[in-house]
Structure 1
Amino acid sequence: MTSDHRLLLVHAHPDDETINNGATMARYADDGAGVTLVTCTAGEMGEVLVPDLAYLAYEEKGGLGEHRRGELEEAMKVLGVTDHRFLGGFGRFHDSGMAWHEDGHAVAGEFVPDNAFWNADLIEPADELVKVIREVRPHVLVTYDQFGGYGHPDHIQAHRVAMYGAQLAAAPSYRLELGEPHDIAKIYWTAMSESRMRASLRELREAGDTETFAGMEPDGKLPPFVTPDELISARVDGRATVERKMDALAKHATQVQADGPFFSGAESGHSWWAEEFYRLVKGIPGPAGADGFEEDLFAGL
């Protein structure tokens, strides 16, 4: 890539990229930046929310991963992202599945396939990412925090692979056959603003909605995927691209319901989805805007 700005995103399954960063990806694609998406698994064990496609489920006939591959391709067309790849090639690392813990976060399920991403020796997927980093030579990397946002084993593994791969890619003496070493200038973790979440919860409850985000209250304890604002470094204003984000999310039809909370009520709005927040974990922050956040992930480079 020859663009002056290059962004690399590492995600666990198809649809994660659009939910977390769809407005950001569309914005930078429109700006002419190089945007590369690496998806670590095909999401073969995900839930199928379309009754007519229930046969694709892992526990039925299977084939969900191949179907989601097509959904991802269509979503990327909407966002304008032309460089999207599966880590190590399609099917190299299998979806690990998950279960829900009683505390409300994801954990590994009772059954984890032998070829699951969660079971992979960390060096193997990290080396695959090293190849991508040294080829693309991104200025900015985006991935999850150490808990993968909500505890999904594939999200946690994606975080580990992204952070380790970035370190290995920069090492001047590490496996030079994988490409010329490259040090990524800025690394961000995705985040959800605590103040934004509390304000939205307050609006929901005052409007009489007790079902959306059930169990969460404006002044109560929040789940681990919510990030205190003092830890957040950047906020990307996606008002100009949020409609495309929602259109791209609709392409992941097996994973979202058109009449569900992603698309209806105060949760979407669509203002909820137009702001995307990030924690800077490597690099020098750029100048902050009026709200105290960086407004451009490439600021300061």
Structure 2
Amino acid sequence: MTTLPGPSEDPGPALAPGDTAGAGTASHDALEAAADLVDDVAGELDPAGLESMERLDQPRRLLFVHAHPDDETIGTGGTMARYAQAGAAVTLLTATRGELGDIVPAELAHLGPDELAEHRTGELATAMEALGVEDHRFLVRRDGTGYRDSGMVWLRPGQAAVGEDVDPRSLAAADPEEVAQRIADVVREVRPQVVVTYEPGGGYGHPDHVRVHEATVRALVLAAGEDREQPDVVPWSVAKVYWSVQPESLARAGVRALAEAGAEGAADPDGPLPSAVVPDAEVTTVVDASGQTAAKLAALRAHATQLTLDLDAPVPAMRLSNGVPQALQPLEHFHLAHGVPGGPFDADGRETDLFAGIALS
């Protein structure tokens, strides 16, 4: 236990009123004692505790929670780059290493799940460098092992689901409460004011996306309460929670433009859309990331196992393994699921800043 130094046995002569002799020495000694006390207290904190204290020195802290490498760039890469460039503390938490993702380049088709995981980990590191995000981490169990990609099957175009043979080590097979607790641990450490993740349908129904959404929602409740397993951990409440979405009008306009341009594999402009596409009225927030286009394109290129870019086409697009083009957009859209909206607002009444309305200290 650290204690303050007590009085010395020989306090020395008392100072007469107005006598400043020795005052400088006394002040110096007091400062040294205070510095020693701070060092002692810091020494009693574990590295995670020290890092959490240091994070509070950064007034804006933002946590993105995604399922696989590439998800973060496709849906929120421009936003990540914009806030990182503006000096905010941006953290990316990825739940799996994407072991079962489809492989686009034929020359890499031989990669097995573990080899693909290692390759995609490298791609993610390169993408984060392009976006300027320095704090990236994978979600791990208490024993230090990671969660594996659960895979998926297509029910219909734009709608996926969990398959029949799921690895017991996968995210979908894990105890949901345990997954939520691991995310809560990161929330308490990072102490973000803002958290961004998927909407309830997981974008298009991928079981890992859905699990990440559900676990993140639960994690924020756990993080705000007392932790029985770690009673010394300070609770943390997040001010705003966003879901990554797309407005229906913009999504259909992009599909229609691709179809009219004769893009190979273009979807039906009037066909069904994935769950990430919501009615325009449900879009509460838009981030203009046009200034970060170069950074996002570089990050997309880094995820070469998962997608290709067609930038010379009449409508610049990205293609995933299914070959369906998706028009590239400079704006990224969100639904405010928790918190109070704040200005400035655009002409449609949507927020333009994820931190709007938050009192920053």
Q: TM-score, normalised by structure 1?
A: 0.91
The alpha-carbon deviation at position 111 of structure 1 amounts to: 1.8
**Larger-Rg structure:** 2
Structure 1 segment 99-114 matched on structure 2, within 5 A: 99-102=153-156, 104-114=158-168
Pairing partner for 2:347 from 287, 290, 293: 290
Choose the corresponding residue for 2:126, options 74, 84, 87. 74
- Cα deviation for residue 173 of structure 1 reads 5.5
* Secondary structure, aligned partner of 2:291: coil
Identity of matched residues, %: 45
Question: 2 CA distance for matches of 1:192 and 1:24?
Answer: 14
Q: For residues 65-88 of structure 1, what are the alpha-carbon distances to aligned partners after superposition, in whole Å with 9 as ceiling and x for unaligned? A: 011111111110010000000001
Flag structure 1 segments of 5+ consecutive residues without an equivalent: none
| Alignment-derived partner of residue 236 in structure 1 | 287
1:289 and 1:88 map into 2 onto residues whose CA distance is: 39
Cα distance, 1:48 vs structure 2: 1.0
Q: Helix, strand or coil: the match of 1:101?
A: strand
- Does residue 84 (structure 1) correspond to residue 136 (structure 2)? The answer is yes
Distance 2:135 2:229 in 1: 24
- The alpha carbon displacement at 1:172 in A equals 3.6
- Note the C-alpha offset of 1:291: 2.6
1:132 aligns with 2:186: yes
- Residue 7 (1) aligns with residue 58 (2): no
Letter in 2 for 1:75: A
Distance 1:56 1:209 in 2: 30
Q: Which fold has the larger relative contact order, with Cα–Cα distance below 8 Å and residues 6 or more apart in sequence?
A: 1
Provide structure 2 residue ranges, at least 5 long, that are not aligned to the other structure.
1-54, 319-325
Counterpart mapping for 1:86-235 below 5 A: 86-88=138-140, 91-102=145-156, 104-172=158-226, 174-177=228-231, 179-209=233-263, 211-212=265-266, 214=267, 216-217=268-269, 219-235=270-286
What residue is the counterpart of 1:300 in the other structure?
Answer: 357
The change in CA–CA distance for 1:271 and 1:50 in structure 2 (over 3 A counts) is closer
What secondary structure does 1:70 align onto? helix
Could you say if the C-alpha distance between residues 176 and 13 of structure 1 is closer, same or farther in structure 2, counting changes exceeding 3 Å? same
> Contact 2:199 / 2:276 at 8 angstroms: preserved in 1?
no
Q: Report the Cα distance in structure 1 between the residues aligned to 2:289 and 2:125, rounded to whole angstroms.
A: 21
Secondary structure of 2:91's match? strand
The CA distance in 1 between the partners of 2:199 and 2:150, in whole Å, is 18
Q: Which residue of 2 aligns with 1:24?
A: 79
Counterpart Cα distance in 2 of 1:23 and 1:8: 14
In the comparison of the two structures, how many residue pairs are matched?
293
Query: Deviations 1:123-174 (Å, cap 9, x if unpaired)?
Result: 2121111111111100000000111010000000010111111110001465
Equivalent residues of 1:142, 1:188 under 8 A apart: yes
1:208 to partner: Cα distance: 3.8
Say whether 1:38 aligns with 2:93.
yes
How far apart are 1:205 and its partner, in Å? Answer: 3.3
Determine the C-alpha separation between the residues in 2 that align with 1:271 and 1:290. 23
Distance in 1 of aligned mates of 2:179 and 2:281: 32
| Structure 1 residues 40-90: Cα deviation after superposition (integer angstroms, max 9, x where no partner) | 0000011111111111133xxx41101111111111001000000000178
Indicate if the aligned counterparts of 2:261 and 2:315 stay in contact, CA closer than 8 A.
Answer: no
Cα distance in structure 2, aligned partners of 1:253 and 1:52 = 11
Letter in 2 for 1:98: M
Amino acid of the residue matched to residue 294 of structure 1? E
Question: Where in structure 1 do 4 or more consecutive aligned residues deviate above 6 Å?
Answer: none
SS in 1 for 2:169: coil
Give distance in 2, aligned partners of 1:163 and 1:272: 29
Aligned to 1:118, the other structure's residue is in SS state coil
